[in-house]
Amino acid sequence: MCVVMKNVTVLLGGCGKEREVSLNSGNATLNALNELGFSTSTIDLPNDLNELIAQLETIKPDVVFNCLHGPIGEDGTVQEILNTLKIPYTHSGVTASTNAMDKWKSYQIFKENKIPTPETLKINLTNTLECPLAYPCVAKPINEGSSVGIHVISSDDEWKQLRQEWVFGCECLVQEYLKQREIHVAVLDGVALGTIEICPKETFSIFSYQAKYVPGEAQFICPAPINKVEEDLAKETALKTYQALGCRGLSRIDMMFDGNAFSVLELNTQPGFTTTSLAPQIAKSQGLPFIDLVGRMVASAKCD
């Protein structure tokens, strides 16, 4: 419970492809904040960022709880605004947010820090007639989340179709496809909390947007059914990734496990945040229920 009353504004919504996910995260957070006794308000991210600044200057919150997903809210833009206004906020700061959202930059940081990760190439789709990696491989946007735009490519025809239908700019990441166990780790304030295993239905070759958000399309096992040595390695790999990107607050690290080593796919500085989202499930499995997790995050909110 909060000792000193704080005015907390929840940032949510926006006009991006992850608007619905953000609204769900924001509403769940708002309910928890109200239950904790905070004075609350919400801002649905406007298209005009000057309007966002005006609303923040009017409300004058003590803390902003950032429940935005995707570009603007997750890529350092909103974080820079909050730093300028000197309003403490949850999750990571500008540099970590920027680096984590840019999957090509993340890949380079992983390699520099000797963090295992699938082979990845950045290409220009307009002049790349042939797939540069062996099939199957994964094509993904550089700056999206929630598995938006991710495709598993298994043939020349699928590569051709991808090039024709791609809507995320000219550039694209092509990544080695790992058919392994998918295990995620949540890290909170520099401590690796625990693990969860993702088991999508066999109809999904990856943990897609639909598999993530449509009930019954995936099974979640929390904690992941791995032994103590494997769990320690998962946490160690996740924490190293978190530190390499310079994160703070809550993050989720998504990895593949081949039985010996964990390969990092990406780090999410703004993971889904409802009572049934992956990071809160992990926290709950370690004795930190959603409402207490929300309180912890408000308490640790700060500017860069």
Q: Quickly count: other Cβ atoms within 10 Å of residue 147's Cβ.
A: 17
Its CATH class, for the domain covering 120-176, is: alpha beta
Give the pairing type, strands 39-44 and 7-12.
parallel
3-state helix, strand, coil in the chain (%, to 5): 35, 25, 40
Cα–Cα distance for residue pair 149/136, rounded to 1 Å? 16
Its CATH class, for the domain covering 7-91, is: alpha beta
- Could you tell me which residues are beta bridge partners of residue 137? 153, 176
Q: What is the per-residue pLDDT for 212?
A: 47
Question: According to CATH, where is 3.30.1490.20 located in the chain?
Answer: 120-176
**Is 77 a residue whose pLDDT tops 50?**
yes
Greater confidence (156 vs 147) lies with: 156
Greater confidence (206 vs 179) lies with: 179
Q: What is the per-residue pLDDT for 1?
A: 44
Residue 217 CA, chain-centre distance (Å), reads: 20
Q: What is the DSSP letter of 247?
A: -
Q: What is the DSSP letter of 136?
A: S
Tell the CATH superfamily of the 99-116+179-288 domain: ATP-grasp fold, B domain (3.30.470.20)
Which residues, 6 or more positions from 133, have their beta carbon under 8 angstroms from its beta carbon?
119, 121, 174, 175, 176
Question: According to CATH, where is 3.40.50.20 located in the chain?
Answer: 7-91
Question: According to CATH, where is 3.30.470.20 located in the chain?
Answer: 99-116+179-288
Give the residue numbers marked as catalytic.
18, 146, 213, 252, 254, 266, 268, 272
pLDDT, the chain, mean: 93
User: Residue 103 has which token pair?
Assistant: 């999957």
The 10s digit of each residue's pLDDT in 261-289 is 999 999 999 999 998 899 999 999 999 99
The 10s digit of each residue's pLDDT in 26-46 is 999 999 999 999 999 999 999
Taking residues 90-99, report their average pLDDT.
98
Which residues, 6 or more positions from 151, have their beta carbon under 8 angstroms from its beta carbon?
138, 139, 140, 158, 162
User: Residue 64 has which token pair?
Assistant: 């902003």
Greater confidence (237 vs 70) lies with: 237
